[in-house]
Chains A and B, each alone.
Chain A
């Protein structure tokens, strides 16, 4: 069979047909494929952009990445405006509509269960940053530290040198303890209000381009009627930890990217060379990412 010039790009699977008229065009307007009671939001993309050879090159081109990642997000946002969605990872591609439909059929129970659980919920992200210098300055006002400072001032140079080393060590320990305490306490407080919560890896400064260090990168799945309380809790944490040099970035609502953790569970019988194992994921229960 001749290879199509285009691939089917799957953005998300929805519980009802979303209105996609407002989505900005990329290569082609996304469209909805209905199958097995599910609504797959798909687009057609040039095969050449995503084949192994070109993809590596394209991923190094930030303009290319930026355009496609933003398109991906925009399509999902349009879809989730009037339906519940299970988002798929960037560049989830199928050779044909037939293959996509087979995947849907095979995983329909899993997808439907996920949609049921996600219904009425929103994903929000909270990143906490800490200005280490500001926090260090606050901690330096600690009584124990100040007392030691006096002792250093009245010591002989040799003894002062050793005490100074110890003082710095003590301050660093306090700093780490404080960061952990604030980060964990904040996460614990927020997760109380949520249906799901997860902690993601911290992003390095060269990526965030912030002077402050990221100390928490978390995602929360919140029932729509609890979103207001969640925001209030974030504000309360901001007020409480502002003096410690902590700042909070709260964003959303996002498609529930962080709460569709089917890794390794979604499978399709492959006619090609991909050679998936035939242990269908569809029979297994969805791990809904509840932390």
Chain B
């Protein structure tokens, strides 16, 4: 198995999980940084439409809704 693609393989399905982390967590540097995405709610506004379209896509493709990320191995 290609370890790099573990999440990528089920990326669409767990977009919510990714957004919940990438936009909201991680180290914040102040100073030179041009912008900081503090207003996460702004992004969530459009999330609903996005997530449902992803779900539909997955179903059409016949892929399992929950991907390999569910399994530890």
Contact = CB atoms under 8 A, between A and B. Distances in A.
A77 B33 contact: no
A61 B15 CA distance: 15
A107 B46 CA distance: 36
B63 interface: no
A56 interface: yes
Contacts of B17: 125, 251, 254
A269 B7 CA distance: 37
Given A66-B15, A69-B22, A73-B22, A81 B3 contact: yes
A64 to B, nearest CB: 10
Contacts of B18: 69-70, 73
B27 A91 contact: no
B34 interface: yes
Contact of A62 (B14, B30, B50): B50
A166 interface: no
Interface residues of B, number: 47
A94 B33 contact: yes
**Interface of A (DSSP majority class):** mixed
B71 to A, nearest CB: 8
Contacts of A65: 19, 43, 46
Interface string B1-44: 01110111001001111111111111111111111110100111
A252 interface: yes
B18 to A, nearest CB: 5
B33 A227 contact: no
A26 interface: no
Nearest to B51: A209
